[in-house]
Amino acid sequence: MAGPLVGYRVLDLSRILAGPWLGQLLSDLGAEVWKIERPGTGDDTRQWGPPFLKDGDSNDTTESAYFLSANRGKHSICVDIATEEGSEIVRSLAQQADIVIENYKVGDMRRYGLDYESLRKLKQDIIYCSITGYGQTGPMKDVAGYDMAIQATGGLMSITGESDDKPGGGPQKVGVPIVDILTGMYSATGVLSALLHRERTGEGQHIDMALLDVQVSVLANQNMNYLTTGRPPKRYGNAHPNIVPYQVFKTKDGSFVLAVGNDQQFRKFCATAGFAELAADTRFATNTDRLHNRDQLIPLLDVHLAKQTTHHWVSLLEPVGVPCAPINTLDQVFAHPQVIHRELQINLPHPSGAITPLVGNPIKFSKTKIEYSKSPPLRGEDTEQVLKTVLKFDQAKIQRLSDRRIVDTGTHPQHSKSGLPE
């Protein structure tokens, strides 16, 4: 059975990551996604390299790894929306779409007649998702939002990183643009919910997504740690503010994660790891006790756990149900038997002739299985096909638009990594 969104069409006017992540997710679920890009350069992330995809001779292509991460399955259509003819093409595509995604600054789409109110007049049931840094309203609505700035503004960096009194202490960003990614995922929930609403009522609607809103929302227990006490949480590095022991420990040959989540697990840990006396120590009997006496417990564990290898501790503790794990590098991750079994790496032929290694969607349906039929596109590779099949343009009209650089059909000379003609 085909993906659950087969038959739906998405007009994706977004670039960089949050919007493209949403578009890729909808594409994975079966929707046809038309990615609108700028003629000549395309999505900014096409130039965000190295690294770039390698061809069969191990030479760099023009496709950055960053772009490949968020644009699987899409159709690239290059149209200059700053021109009246270009914006009219996109409005025509919107009338054939179910969902529109955009992440321009507040008010920019109105200049081109591509805002929600304009498109709703053309297609009343359109679902229109706007993604910005700070939202469509409020004192910061006109401020550009970037993931790291949002991590800072929204509090994530204040609780991420080693504490100030330790070597290397200070605020840290997360190792991936997590706010962009989570915003794309929350946006998918919003879009799918709006589709369900439309199925019931026939009504479309505008979805206002803000990176800051998402960032604040996902601080979860740390939010509540503050709201219930009035005290801003501090940074604990790799330790946990509410659970002990729940952190990274050094071993004889590296380090590993020990994640003891309850008192029974702590007793199992003590019995298995040679800490029988700690299980009987009233200072450490409950998680609350261990939290209050963290500074006494952790040094004892540090000394003992450093005497054996990571493999020793993981192979000892994992079978008895004590949560723990080695800290894998990405080469180890993709060689891991469980990752291989779950088919998290996929390979798709790329139109450049290369084979694109990609990461599969983690959703596993029992019926509507996800199928990967299209690699991330070359810039403008689908312009001609979509204009012909969807808007019924003839070849002469497409050629005139291409000659005037209103559209980019992908037949131009190959461009270098800078986006400029070689």
82-97: pLDDT as tens digits: 999 999 999 999 999 9
Q: Is the pTM of this model over 0.85?
A: yes
Same domain, 46 and 87: yes
Distance in angstroms (rounded) separating the CA atoms of residues 26 and 73: 9
Residue 382 covered by a domain: yes
Residue 258 covered by a domain: yes
Same domain, 258 and 300: yes
Closest CA to 28 of 6, 1, 53: 6
Query: What would the two tokens of residue 174 be?
Result: 């997360």
Give 214-251 pLDDT, tens digit per residue: 999 999 999 999 999 999 999 999 999 999 999 999 99
Same domain, 90 and 150: yes
Give 127-178 pLDDT, tens digit per residue: 999 999 999 999 999 999 999 999 999 999 999 999 998 888 999 999 999 9
Element (H, E) at 255: strand 255-259
Same domain, 23 and 170: yes
Same domain, 201 and 250: no
**What b-and-e string marks burial along 340-356, b requiring 16 or more CB atoms within 10 Å of the CB?**
eeeebeeebebbbebeb
Q: So what's the pLDDT on residue 305? A: 97
What angle (nearest 5°) sits at the alpha carbon of residue 7, between those of residues 3 and 9? 110
Query: What would the two tokens of residue 57 be?
Result: 């001779």
Residue 355 covered by a domain: no
Same domain, 52 and 121: yes
Q: Determine the structural domain holding residue 320 and report its residue range.
A: 244-327
Distance in angstroms (rounded) separating the CA atoms of residues 102 and 18: 10
Give 9-20 pLDDT, tens digit per residue: 999 999 999 999
pLDDT band (50, 70, 90) for residue 422: very low
Q: Mean pLDDT for the chain?
A: 95
3-state class (DSSP) for residue 30: coil
Same domain, 397 and 269: no
44 noted as active-site residue: no
Same domain, 146 and 274: no
Same domain, 289 and 382: no
3-state class (DSSP) for residue 101: strand
The residue count of the chain comes to 422
Total number of domains constituting the chain: 2
- CATH for 279: 3.30.1540.10
- CATH for 149: 3.40.50.10540
Same domain, 49 and 181: yes
Residue 417 covered by a domain: no
The active-site residue out of 180, 213, 382, 408 is: 180
Same domain, 31 and 70: yes
Same domain, 212 and 257: no
Distance in angstroms (rounded) separating the CA atoms of residues 410 and 344: 31
Residue 336 covered by a domain: no
Report how far apart, in Å, the C-alpha atoms of 313 and of each of 131, 261, 287, 299 are.
45, 17, 22, 17
Residue 13 covered by a domain: yes
Q: What residues contact residue 238 under an 8 Å CB cut-off, 6+ apart? A: 247, 248, 257
Distance in angstroms (rounded) separating the CA atoms of residues 309 and 295: 24
